Structure 1
Amino acid sequence: MNAPNNPELQAARALQLAQRVDAIEPFRVMEMVKAAADLKHAGADIISMSVGEPDFTAPEPVAQAAIEAIRAGHTQYTVSLGLPALREAIAGHYASAYGVSIDPRRIVVTAGASAALLLACAALVNEGDEVLMPDPCYPCNRHFVSAFGGKPVLLPCGADARYQLSAAQVAEHWNARTRGVVVASPSNPTGTSMTPAQLQEIIQAVRARGGFSVVDELYSGLCFDGAPVSALSYGDDVITVNSFSKYFHMTGWRLGWLVVPEALVPVLEKLAQNLFICPSAIAQYAALACFSQEALAICEARRLELKRRRDYFVPALRELGFGVPVMPDGGFYVYAEIDKLAHKDAGDSTAFAWSVLNDTHVAIVPGDDFGFAAPRKHVRFSYATKYERIQEAVDRLARVLSR
Structure 2
Amino acid sequence: MPHPSPHLSPHPSLNPSAIPLAARLERIAPFHVMELAKRAAELEAQGRHLIHMGIGEPDFTAPQPVLDAAARAMADGRLQYTSATGLPALREAIARHYLDTYGVAVAPSRIVVTAGASAALLLACAALIERDAEVLMSDPSYPCNRHFIAAFEGRATMIPCGPAQRFQLSAEMVRAHWSPQTRGVLLASPSNPTGTSIAPDELRGIVAAVRERGGFAIVDEIYNGLRYDGAPSSAVALGEDVLVVNSFSKYFNMTGWRLGWLVVPEALVAPVEKLAQNLFICASSLAQHAALACFTPQAQAIYEERRQEMRRRRDYIVPALESLGFRVPVMPDGAFYIYADCSALSDDADRLSRDLLEQAGVVMVPGLDFGVAEPRRYLRISYATSIENLREAVARIRRFLAVSA
TM-score by length of 2: 0.95
Give 1:292's aligned amino acid: T
Give 1:359's aligned amino acid: Q
> Is 1:260 matched up with 2:264?
yes
> Is 1:193 matched up with 2:197?
yes
Which residue of structure 2 aligns with residue 280 of structure 1?
A: 284
SS in 2 for 1:402: helix
- For residues 4-403 of structure 1, what are the structure 2 equivalents within 5 Å? 13-341=17-345, 346-403=346-403
**Per-residue deviation at 1:48?**
0.6
Would the alpha carbon gap of residues 12 and 218 (structure 1) be closer, same or farther in structure 2, given more than 3 Å must change? farther
- What CA distance in whole angstroms lies between the structure 2 residues aligned with 1:198 and 1:85? 34
**Per-residue deviation at 1:15?**
1.2
- What CA distance in whole angstroms lies between the structure 2 residues aligned with 1:367 and 1:12? 33
- What CA distance in whole angstroms lies between the structure 1 residues aligned with 2:84 and 2:39? 37
**8 A contact 1:317–1:394 mirrored in 2:** yes
Give 2:293's aligned amino acid: A
Deviates more, 1:13-22 or 1:391-400: 13-22
Aligned residues: 389
TM-score by length of 1: 0.95
**8 A contact 1:32–1:50 mirrored in 2:** no
**8 A contact 1:239–1:258 mirrored in 2:** yes
Give 2:332's aligned amino acid: P
- What CA distance in whole angstroms lies between the structure 2 residues aligned with 1:38 and 1:210? 51
SS in 1 for 2:340: strand
**Per-residue deviation at 1:22?**
1.3
- What CA distance in whole angstroms lies between the structure 1 residues aligned with 2:174 and 2:296? 40
User: Which structure has the greater CA radius of gyration?
Assistant: 2
Would the alpha carbon gap of residues 28 and 12 (structure 1) be closer, same or farther in structure 2, given more than 3 Å must change? farther
Give 1:156's aligned amino acid: P
**Per-residue deviation at 1:28?**
2.6
- What CA distance in whole angstroms lies between the structure 2 residues aligned with 1:35 and 1:124? 39
**Per-residue deviation at 1:31?**
3.3
SS in 2 for 1:220: coil
SS in 2 for 1:222: coil
**8 A contact 1:30–1:51 mirrored in 2:** no
**Per-residue deviation at 1:27?**
1.8
- What CA distance in whole angstroms lies between the structure 2 residues aligned with 1:210 and 1:361? 50
Structure 2: stretches of 5+ with no match in the other structure: 1-14
**Per-residue deviation at 1:35?**
2.3
Residues 87-114 of structure 1, C-alpha deviation per residue, up to 9 Å, x if partnerless?
A: 0000000001111100000000000000
- What CA distance in whole angstroms lies between the structure 2 residues aligned with 1:105 and 1:190? 33
**8 A contact 1:29–1:51 mirrored in 2:** no
- What CA distance in whole angstroms lies between the structure 1 residues aligned with 2:266 and 2:252? 26
- What CA distance in whole angstroms lies between the structure 1 residues aligned with 2:396 and 2:315? 19
**Per-residue deviation at 1:13?**
4.1
SS in 2 for 1:223: coil
Residues 303-345 of structure 1, C-alpha deviation per residue, up to 9 Å, x if partnerless?
A: 000000000000000110001011100000000011111xxxx
Give 2:81's aligned amino acid: Y
- What CA distance in whole angstroms lies between the structure 2 residues aligned with 1:275 and 1:35? 34
**Per-residue deviation at 1:212?**
0.3
- What CA distance in whole angstroms lies between the structure 2 residues aligned with 1:268 and 1:24? 24
- What CA distance in whole angstroms lies between the structure 2 residues aligned with 1:368 and 1:77? 40
Aligned-residue Cα RMSD (Å) equals 0.9
**Per-residue deviation at 1:38?**
2.2
Structure 1: stretches of 5+ with no match in the other structure: 1-10
- What CA distance in whole angstroms lies between the structure 1 residues aligned with 2:37 and 2:289? 31
SS in 1 for 2:385: coil
**Per-residue deviation at 1:37?**
2.0
- What CA distance in whole angstroms lies between the structure 2 residues aligned with 1:365 and 1:339? 15
**8 A contact 1:189–1:335 mirrored in 2:** yes
- What CA distance in whole angstroms lies between the structure 2 residues aligned with 1:192 and 1:274? 35
**Per-residue deviation at 1:12?**
5.2
Give 1:30's aligned amino acid: M
- What CA distance in whole angstroms lies between the structure 1 residues aligned with 2:268 and 2:222? 21
SS in 2 for 1:117: helix
**8 A contact 1:129–1:178 mirrored in 2:** yes
Query: Where do 4+ consecutive residues of structure 1 move more than 3 Å?
Result: none
